[in-house]
Amino acid sequence: MLSHVYHLTWGVEPHSQQRRDKAMKFARSRLANRWHAGGLSQILFILPIALVLLATASLAFAQGGASAAPVDYRDVPYVGSRNVIWILAEVHLLFGGFVLGVPVFAWICDVIGTLTKEERYNKLANDFIGLTLAAFEMTAMLGATFLLFLLALYPKVVNYMTGIFWPTYYVYVMLFGASMVILYLYWSGFQTMKNRKGLHLFIGFLLNLIAVGVMLVPNAWATFQASPVVLPGGMGALEKAWAAMNNPTWGPVNIHRFISNIVLGGFLVGAYSGVRYLGARTQEEREHYDWMGYIGNFIGMFGLLTLPFAGYWLMREVYMYNQQMGITLMGGFLSWLFIIQAVLIGILFLGANYYFWLGLAYRTEGAERYMKPILILLTALLSCFMVWLTPHSLVASIAEARAMGGAHHPLLGLLGVMSAKMTVVNLMILISFVSFLMYWRAGSKPTASWAKVANVLIVILFFVVIVGVIVIGVWGYFVPAIVRINVFSVTQVLAVLTVLLTVTPLVGFMLKGAKSTSKMTFGVMPVRSQLGLIVNAVTIVFTMSLMGYARSASRVHWHIYGVLEDTSPYAFSPALGHAGAMAALATFLFFALVGIILWITISASRSSAFSTQYFFLAPFIFWATTLTGKPVEPSSGPSGQVVEQPKFIGKVAGTICGVLLLFIWISNSVPQMQSLPPKKVAFDVSNLNTKADLVDAGKKLFFGKAQCALCHSLEHTESPRCPVMKGRGAKRTREYILESMMHPKAVIYKQYETAGPGKFYPAQMPVINKPPIGLSDTEMLAVVSFIQSLGGKVTVEPSELKALVAGTGKLIPETATEEATTEEATTETATTEATATEGNGDGN
């Protein structure tokens, strides 16, 4: 250990026993002096934090400690247990994204540096792997704190999840420990494996591979809560854990989070370089951090281009698993959340493009020729952005609704549907890709003989795909929703991906050996460019925090959707204003902690007494003991001139706080709706004396607890999600309707089938008499009576419901055998008609 301290202090290895003994003696004396000088400072800093955590936990335990009975929940007075878990979970996940995303970024830079023989790429990778070690400590501390509070405040949830996933806990611990060891080996290998670069790169690859495993395991825990699968009795522990892990949304969430972590890592690197650029003391530092910002924005932008595709796949799987959950997200009380998300993603696209455009203007010679194309790209990008954030339904007063002719604006309402939004987001990706190509190719002239042909093919490909995306988007207004989602949207995505995957390597080969026509000058970017990098980092962190709320709120009042109900005082989903404030707080805390880590490690690394910048606690101890020391004088640049260091801390802090306040204001400006758990009201059949009473009760259930109206409409619409109920009572017997409720896959009309291979998880329509809806037999008969009343004869009698309550009746009377036989023939005929008919709204 002390030998390691010697290595960190002097940067060399003790080779002989004499030098090693001398190093040990020196290290002992230095550590002793530091402890005597700074021990009190450490205690004064750490003790208040420990006391606050212990006091908060004690308040929670005190509520359940008086009774020996099991406790399902504990609360934190004045703050709320949910808010505590919310903040701890989000900040921990953000640091987790940092330590999982930045190594990917660093390894890519390391590979580029090895292939191109440019040392600056390897140095960049070394610096950020070092910072990852510091962040790793913070991630582990936050994770431990989160776990302790989760055990204290939500024992009911922890016990249930542990009963299923306990074998994965061992796997997670082993992966976490292995990633720490390999992370240290990879960092130290920048010095010790310079002559074995292949081995070093393999260790970096292994680090990222294990980091993916660290991400996969907790993702399984989280996705099981949203999309649980049936776990039959008699399963072994490992079999049960794997079945729960392999739930329907696990795969798309893994892909989405992996890409999100890369985007997060890239934009955080950009923000870090922006801060260091603003505080640079020499021109050489400015040039280095300007180049670093370019690399960070490049990787963040490239990840951002593919992120909407992963998001689309995730939402598609959500709809396939449970259409009710998908509608809650996209069309229910969370629908305005995705308008806010459109604003945030639009800011990221605009910010990343703006940085590229400033780079063209300031770093390249003859930038005037790019001004007109940039103006065209900006106009197109803003137009797409405005369409993307246009809502379909408007919250309007009665007078406004009458003036518009309904909740949908006669013109703008057309821009709010999914067909328009999928079209413009694909166009935004293509526009941003053009900006990236302009910057990539600036100052270079391809010399390959086939370059002109390749340029023509690139232009043709862009033209064909852009026209195709627009045509498919317009065509989507005239086809059923299932065709628009499963065919048209997928076609648009594949077309845009074809452009990205074809043009990127093609341009890379074209620029290999290209002739340089103008010099790219770093270190001359304006202050606003660096603040733009910081805005992008704040935006991506806030977006990830807000999407955490979306994943949780989609479960409404369930800890595990349809399986384990939330019966705590916080079972409701809060409004967007509250969610925005919590996401802003988590974002602020994340940047505050990152800032403290960077400040302490940078301050410690500038001292000749303690040169490590690769851990958080060790530099913190040194920094705390040298608070009264003489500040380090700024060093001079290559020309001997010291660059004037601006007062940038205020600008950085003001930018972060200003952006977060803006996001809070936006979150509170949209309609504020909470999702309250359903009231536990017993279905009283004693007051149902006539068929009219029965129909009225069924109507309330149809639009209320049964949630049928989320998918089924009473009148024909242009593109119905599910069969329309108008006239259904005249076409179907009660037995057929009951079968549709309890066995929704028994008969599925062709236009409502899900394309692709069959899924092992439930159909889009949930089983009505099971959680999360869970209608009783009497409630189902009431709904049947309401459906029968829509153009048919009500055959359900109130006496049947009372007989069911008394235990003397049956849900399907034996006298219905003949009717059921007749219905089978009707079903066969109806299925044949549905196969030949599209978009008529008829179905199961």
pLDDT average, residue stretch 631-657? 62
Check pLDDT > 70 for residue 397. Answer: no
Q: Is 126 helix (H, G, I), strand (E, B) or coil?
A: helix
Check pLDDT > 90 for residue 822. Answer: no
pLDDT average, residue stretch 794-798? 85
Which of 167-171, 462-466, 718-722, 723-727 is predicted least confidently? 718-722
Check pLDDT > 90 for residue 541. Answer: yes
CA dihedral 592, 596, 602, 606 (to 10 degrees): 140
In angstroms, the first-to-last Cα distance of the chain is 71
What local confidence, expressed as pLDDT, does residue 589 receive? Answer: 93
Encoded amino acid at 304, one letter: L
For residue 92 the two structure tokens come to: 């921990």
Task: Give yes or no for a contact between 734 and 788, defined as CB atoms under 8 angstroms apart.
Answer: yes
* CA–CA dist 799, 803 (Å, integer): 6
Q: Choose between 628 and 209: higher pLDDT.
A: 209
Check pLDDT > 60 for residue 571. Answer: yes
pLDDT average, residue stretch 390-406? 59
CB-neighbour burial class of residue 312 (10 A; exposed 0-12, middle 13-18, buried 19+): buried
Using alpha carbons only, what angle is made at residue 807 by residues 805 and 813, rounded to the nearest 5 degrees? 95
What local confidence, expressed as pLDDT, does residue 711 receive? Answer: 67
Q: E strands along 557-705, which residues?
A: 558-560, 564-565
For residue 699 the two structure tokens come to: 């109507």
Beta bridge partners of 560: 564
Q: Where are the domains of the chain?
A: 2-60, 71-322+527-628+644-677, 691-836
CA dihedral 104, 108, 113, 115 (to 10 degrees): 140
Q: Which residue has the tokens 């540096």?
A: 113
pLDDT average, residue stretch 679-689? 73
- Domain 691-836 CATH (choose: 3.30.450.20, 1.10.10.10, 3.30.565.10, 1.10.760.10): 1.10.760.10
Other CB atoms within 10 A of residue 370 CB: 18
* CA–CA dist 89, 145 (Å, integer): 10
DSSP string, 379-416: HHHHHHHHHHT--SS----HHHHHHHTSSS-TTGGGGG
Helix (H) or strand (E) holding 742: helix 734-742
Smallest CA-to-CA distance from 442 within 501, 519, 355 is with: 519
% of the chain exceeding 70 in pLDDT: 73
Encoded amino acid at 153, one letter: L
Residues 6+ away with beta carbon under 8 Å from 220: 165, 168, 244, 245, 246, 247, 250
Q: Is 644 helix (H, G, I), strand (E, B) or coil?
A: coil
Check pLDDT > 60 for residue 575. Answer: yes
564-565 and 558-560: which strand pairing?
antiparallel
- Over residues 496-505, the pLDDT tens digits come to 888 888 988 8
Q: Which residue has the tokens 């910048």?
A: 613
- Largest interatomic CA distance in the chain: 102
Would the CA dihedral through 802, 803, 805, 810 be positive or negative?
negative
* CA–CA dist 706, 780 (Å, integer): 9
For residue 72 the two structure tokens come to: 């399902």
Smallest CA-to-CA distance from 182 within 209, 219, 215, 218 is with: 209
What local confidence, expressed as pLDDT, does residue 437 receive? Answer: 85
% of the chain exceeding 90 in pLDDT: 9
CB-neighbour burial class of residue 632 (10 A; exposed 0-12, middle 13-18, buried 19+): exposed
Q: Is 601 helix (H, G, I), strand (E, B) or coil?
A: helix
Task: Give yes or no for a contact between 154 and 139, defined as CB atoms under 8 angstroms apart.
Answer: no
DSSP string, 412-437: GGGGGSHHHHHHHHHHHHHHHHHHHH
For residue 736 the two structure tokens come to: 């057929």
Position 819 confidence tier, pLDDT thresholds 50, 70, 90: very low
CA dihedral 294, 299, 301, 303 (to 10 degrees): 180
| Angle in degrees, 0-180, between the axes of helices 576-605 and 119-153, rounded to the nearest 10 | 130
Position 389 confidence tier, pLDDT thresholds 50, 70, 90: confident
Cα separations in angstroms, 459 against 56, 377, 504, 641: 62, 15, 13, 47
For residue 299 the two structure tokens come to: 């990787």
* CA–CA dist 188, 190 (Å, integer): 5
Beta bridge partners of 445: 515
Residues 6+ away with beta carbon under 8 Å from 138: 95, 593, 597, 616
CB-neighbour burial class of residue 497 (10 A; exposed 0-12, middle 13-18, buried 19+): middle
Taking all residues of the chain, what is their mean pLDDT, rounded to a whole number?
A: 75
**b/e string for 284-297 if b means 16 or more Cβ within 10 A?**
bbbbbbbbbbbbbb
* CA–CA dist 75, 81 (Å, integer): 5
Check pLDDT > 90 for residue 483. Answer: no
What local confidence, expressed as pLDDT, does residue 534 receive? Answer: 92
Would the CA dihedral through 434, 440, 442, 447 be positive or negative?
negative
- Over residues 199-226, the pLDDT tens digits come to 989 999 999 999 999 999 999 999 898 8
Position 602 confidence tier, pLDDT thresholds 50, 70, 90: low
For residue 124 the two structure tokens come to: 């960049």
* CA–CA dist 611, 562 (Å, integer): 55
What local confidence, expressed as pLDDT, does residue 827 receive? Answer: 43
Q: Is 489 helix (H, G, I), strand (E, B) or coil?
A: helix
Determine phi and psi for 560, rounding to 5 degrees: -125, 115
Cα separations in angstroms, 415 against 313, 339, 711: 22, 13, 22
Determine phi and psi for 330, rounding to 5 degrees: -95, -25
Q: Is 481 helix (H, G, I), strand (E, B) or coil?
A: helix
Which of 268-282, 327-341, 442-456 is predicted least confidently? 327-341
* CA–CA dist 338, 344 (Å, integer): 9
For the CA atoms of the chain, what is the radius of gyration?
A: 31
Determine phi and psi for 409, rounding to 5 degrees: -70, 135
